[in-house]
A and B are shown apart, each in its own frame.
Chain A
């Protein structure tokens, strides 16, 4: 078993039994689900909205080259510097390079899962720069030296008491565990950082080819400040985020907010179309947009799985996934967790090392049902399983299924090995049941096995005719 799969299994085993953890996650997600359903119900045609959104994304991807060329052109026309990065390494080098060229002394960042994907903070810190996460959830996990726990709510796994302890330890300032007081502490610390920062780094939710804009969605206002005060601004986005038309956002922004955070629309939805223009009195003098591939083109080339690039990073699939709800975000051991993470990670980081995520699912389909852009998530997992077997079958499984096929297709063999063999096996089973010698240990550790019926259905059917 590869180390990632081993880590997943160990953490999943531990957290599945952790009732406190389960309680925290499920309380938060149950509250969210009620509000989300209220907001969804306001749509006159939610299912129609999903279909339209899916088609817009499909169309945007089907013309991705044209959309990217247009985007770069319209951005550059107003003074934005557009960079293209094939790999995470290149993206890191570009951004560290800009920080060095600008002699950045203080860097402030707004939330960007793409920057987590390329391990940007690590690269900047190794190059000697201080980077402060300004989104409250990211700020909290940064202080804990942890990865985000959820695509939208990075600190969902923590209680107010734990956050208070953290602030007391790292900031020396935590008057109480009241969320308002804790937020005020973060606000005080970060306000100074915004005013002092000379480089701001943001992510993006969408990019509009037609008008040359980047769209950033947030609730706190930290991205607004990151894009307003520092002299230099860098925006990192995956190439799959480009949409053709400005008015497409009229559908995507409310859909993202509805399922992402159970809101009509997020607190701040901002379109940036350039650095400070002539006549404008603030905003960055230089704006760099970094377009990242990092194996998105490989996913695009897998036509069967291409719809995974529809993803708008809303987190809906995580919220409804019974596996995520039991093992939590860190168990996945990689940037993108939950069903979408299980689908795209084998493409981004290799099928051989990450196929176990596709198997850690009951294929219940709640994710695909929830996805606002109709990614057929659970069917993608099924296909990933097939792809992993085609690439490298596990010989014992292949043998077992081959053997089963032989038995299943021959009635006498089924009768002897399965029906009667099963009955015989069950008679001796109590001798080993619950011990490591028990072939059904994976089951019997926590569950009773049903008895094989004294008369099978086939035997009953044969007798009556």
Chain B
């Protein structure tokens, strides 16, 4: 397949190894990967209510991705923006039709592997105890819950222990800066839930959530580690 990848801004700048892992995984599976140079899906402006400004960024994304055979997005939160929210953002504009046509072609990375390619076993090992954090956009906008777990089930030596509650990590994009006290409290609650599982790693398909949690972990000196699912699945 010709896979077009969308690499979000924070992966480009802060966690390039996540994007690199995804490219390597897809190429190992025999697919041709292209990463058009796009900066941002437009979610920050969209979430803050500046839909006009968001369209200025997102319009470029639609134009670049529209003709793709299939689009794989390296984050559940950008995935939700492109797949679920673009049709609403562009309703009544010249890009409306393109947004609607693009949506069914979009997948988050783990969703793409399992639901589209039918691949669950990448022949890797990760002999650690982990717990999984479902990013809210992945879970409730893209309805992804099983795919990451099916992938982890085939990782040799990986032991998954679920947290006792499913709850937002508290990042929420600009929320983390607008309401830092609440954001921190929510992150603390999440880290405590993770610690209760006695897992070594918090795994997620959303680097933005992990960035927030790792930031708290480092500041507080907790012993948890965070890692993106793609990094576990990448060929060594």
A interface residues, Cβ below 8 angstroms from B: 9, 12-13, 16-17, 22, 26, 30, 322-323, 325-327, 359-366, 368-369, 382, 385-390, 393, 397-398, 401-402, 404-405, 407-409, 411, 414, 418-419, 422, 442-443, 445-453, 455-461
Contacts and interface: CB of A to CB of B under 8 A. Distances in A.
Given A326-B182, A359-B178, A405-B57, 10 more contacts: A12-B181, A16-B182, A322-B168, A327-B182, A386-B49, A386-B51, A387-B49, A405-B56, A453-B15, A457-B16
B185 to A, nearest CB: 4
Interface of B: 7, 9, 11-17, 19-20, 23, 35, 37, 39-40, 44-51, 53-54, 56-57, 60, 136, 139-141, 165, 167-168, 170-173, 175-187, 189, 211-212, 214-216, 218-219
A378 to B, nearest CB: 8
Contacts of B189: 22, 26, 322, 325-326
Contacts of B171: 362
Contacts of B181: 12-13, 16-17
B164 to A, nearest CB: 9
Given A323-B182, A361-B172, A461 B140 contact: no
13 contacts: A322-B189, A360-B182, A361-B175, A369-B140, A386-B51, A389-B48, A397-B50, A405-B57, A408-B40, A419-B12, A419-B13, A443-B180, A452-B14
Contacts of B165: 30
Given A17-B181, A401-B54, A362 B44 contact: no
Contacts of A359: 48, 175, 178-179
Contact of A401 (B7, B45, B60): B45
Contact of B214 (A16, A362, A450): A450
Contacts of B51: 386, 389
B182 A445 contact: no
B185 A362 contact: no
A402 B214 CA distance: 30
Given A327-B182, A453-B13, A457-B12, A389 B49 contact: yes
Nearest to A393: B50
A206 B99 CA distance: 41
Contact of A404 (B7, B47, B57, B215): B57
B20 A446 contact: no
Contacts of B45: 401, 404-405
Contacts of A445: 180
A401 B48 contact: yes
Binding site secondary structure of chain B: helix
Contacts of B14: 450-453
Contacts of A368: 140
A362 B13 contact: no
A364 B141 CA distance: 9
Contacts of B17: 453
A445 B215 CA distance: 11
A369 B140 CA distance: 8
A388 B50 CA distance: 10
Given A362-B186, A405-B56, A457 B47 contact: no
Given A326-B185, A366-B168, A382-B47, A442 B39 contact: no
The 10 closest A-B pairs by CB, nearest first: A362-B172, A447-B215, A385-B49, A389-B49, A364-B168, A365-B140, A448-B218, A401-B53, A408-B39, A457-B16
A361 to B, nearest CB: 7
Contacts of B49: 382, 385-390
B50 A362 contact: no
Given A397-B48, A401-B50, A404-B44, A322 B167 contact: yes
Given A13-B181, A322-B189, A366-B167, A457 B172 contact: no
A448 B210 CA distance: 12
Contacts of B180: 442-443, 445-446
Nearest to B16: A457
A30 B167 CA distance: 12
B214 A385 contact: no
A322 B218 contact: no
Contacts of A12: 179, 181-182
Contacts of B12: 419, 456-458
A460 B22 CA distance: 13
A405 to B, nearest CB: 4
A17 B184 CA distance: 9
B43 to A, nearest CB: 10
Contacts of B15: 450, 453
B186 A326 contact: yes
B127 to A, nearest CB: 26
A289 B165 CA distance: 44
